[in-house]
Amino acid sequence: MITSSLTLCLAIGWVAKREDRDGLRPLTYCLALHALTYCLYALRGRIPDLLSVWVANVALVSAFSFLIHAVGVFLERRISRWVLLTPVAVVALGFAAFMSNISARMAINGAVFLVQELILLGHLARALRESRGRGIYLLTAGVFLFFLVLAITAIAELSGSERIQSITDPTLAQSLRFLSAFVSLNLVSLGFVLMTKERADERTRQMAMKDKLTDCWNRFRIEEVAQQEMLRLARYGTPVSLIMIDLDFFKAINDQHGHGVGDQILKDFAATVQSCIRNTDVLGRWGGEEFIVLLPASSYFVTAAIAERIRAAVETAEHANGIRITASLGFSSCQSSDSWDAWLARADLALYRAKAEGRNRVEAEMPLLSEDSPSAPGVARLIWSREFETGNRMLDQQHRQLFEQANQLLGAMTGGASRQQIADRVASFLLAMEEHMLDEEALLEKLDYPDCEEHQAQHRRLIERARSLLERYARNELDLAELLHFVIYEFSAQHLLIEDGKYAPFVQRLTLAGR
């Protein structure tokens, strides 16, 4: 025990001697006091009891306090001095009062250690919910092991099955106590060192994914988050969108004012965008003066509002030398069938339209939405076009009717209708949607459409999601924006136009062939 404690103390102390942001220094003090405690225990009977009993146990409880402090430093949580010093004071005063009564001393020691262990386990339990690393598990296992043995030895002492007369008594309880202390010492120390290594690795990883100039995420991180959100969309149906932003005429600023001014404007611009988005949104620099904002759990219409907020904030911000800039923005929402490249390409195309139409504007990905709303582009109404026709009169008529119902629903949602009125309209819309799906499936089966089963599976997923959203909306668990996103974007845009559009050439060929 002494050798292990000193070895770990010297090794960890050498690592922490220059800089300690992770609690390694108080861990070093913990190990030093641990070594001192067992040195004094080993000398029991050959040195005064004041040293081998009183000083040894005060040192041991102080070691635990330093361990709690080390965990607090690592977790960046302030632990009260009273929590750290009260156990030391209780042991110091208690042992001074009961120097001749080992049972009383054991009871005091056990009670204090159990309280300290519970405090430590409480902090570790919270950390386990927040940590992805493995070091925290080793540390928690070490602490819990010692806690368990303390509880067992305390029960044995209280029940009278084990009576300890000296710290060196070779009883089963003492053997378990020392063995668990030795194992815990190594688990706690290795776990703590592994936690600091994992944190250092994470810091390095974070630095590697940050743009040095603007402190935004770089392309690697953006793509990583995007893939995670696409998986979440596929599994849970949670919408996710992205905004591409390009600074207008930025090259002219660099040419006229120099790259130093240009760099500062990029920093200011990033700060402006960051102030317009939510904590869950991810801002990244895609390259040069082009940026991307990923918006998890954001519908098409929420994204439209945020994009417009960014555009207005950029336009009104003033930079050094009185310089003002504008930005063009294009946005798109991810579709369940999208690849990252396809999703990004639609946002890029929308950005291209924004620049082509005069810059300092927001463009949406979907041309089917009219753009006569001053507050958010593309939310006024759905526009039917002959290019959406499948070639089957019944299906096209149903599609147009669904478009009209979606527009009526959109008008109710944006016109101040009550929740019950909106819920009733949505229920009516879903009924028409299901009837259309049944007719469509019957026709595709009759025509032997090759992907009929997959199309039917899409219908089942849409119906299930629609019913779930309506139930959550009725229980006041869902806001209007997500319901609107499903009706207008997921069903009307993605399914009616994109998925149904896939079978249109097949139906048209058979129609021309007379089937």
Instruction: Report pLDDT for 127.
Output: 82
37 band by pLDDT with thresholds 50, 70 and 90: very high
Question: Which residues make Cβ contacts (< 8 Å) with residue 338, sequence separation at least 6?
Answer: 230
Cross-strand pairs, 287: 290
Nearest to 14 by CA among 1, 23, 25: 25
- b/e burial code for range 219-251 (CB count within 10 A of at least 16 → b): eebbbebbeebbebbeeebebbbbbbbbbbebe
What confidence tens digit (pLDDT) does each residue in 123-134 have? 888 888 776 678
The arithmetic mean of pLDDT across residues 222-243, rounded, is 87
Instruction: Report pLDDT for 368.
Output: 47
- Position of tokens 């302030």? 78
Q: How far apart are CA 418 and CA 205, in angstroms?
A: 49
Nearest to 350 by CA among 335, 371, 328, 372: 328
CA dihedral 61, 64, 66, 69 (to 10 degrees): -130
**Does the pLDDT value for residue 22 go beyond 80?**
yes
CATH 3.40.50.2300 fits 219-364, yes or no: no
**Does the pLDDT value for residue 159 go beyond 70?**
no
Instruction: Report pLDDT for 29.
Output: 94
Residue 367's SS3 state is coil
**Does the pLDDT value for residue 188 go beyond 80?**
yes
What confidence tens digit (pLDDT) does each residue in 357-407 have? 899 999 987 644 544 443 344 445 677 777 778 888 898 899 989 888 888
* CATH topology for the 2-202 domain: Rhopdopsin 7-helix transmembrane proteins (1.20.1070)
Average per-residue pLDDT for the chain: 85
Residue 48's SS3 state is coil
CATH number of 388-512: 1.20.120.50
Q: How far apart are CA 6 and CA 9, in angstroms?
A: 5
The residues spanned by each domain of the chain are 2-202, 219-364, 388-512
Q: Which residue has the higher pLDDT, 308 or 302?
A: 308
Q: Which residue has the higher pLDDT, 299 or 115?
A: 115
Instruction: Report pLDDT for 167.
Output: 60
Q: Which residue has the higher pLDDT, 170 or 355?
A: 355
- Position of tokens 């904590």? 279
Edge-to-edge strands, sheet with 290-296: 282-287, 290-296, 240-247, 327-333, 362-364
Q: How far apart are CA 240 and CA 3, in angstroms?
A: 56
DSSP 330: E
Residue type for position 33:
L
Report the range out of 184-193, 372-381, 487-496 with the highest average pLDDT: 184-193
Checking DSSP bridges between strand 282-287 and strand 327-333, what pairing results, if any? Answer: unpaired
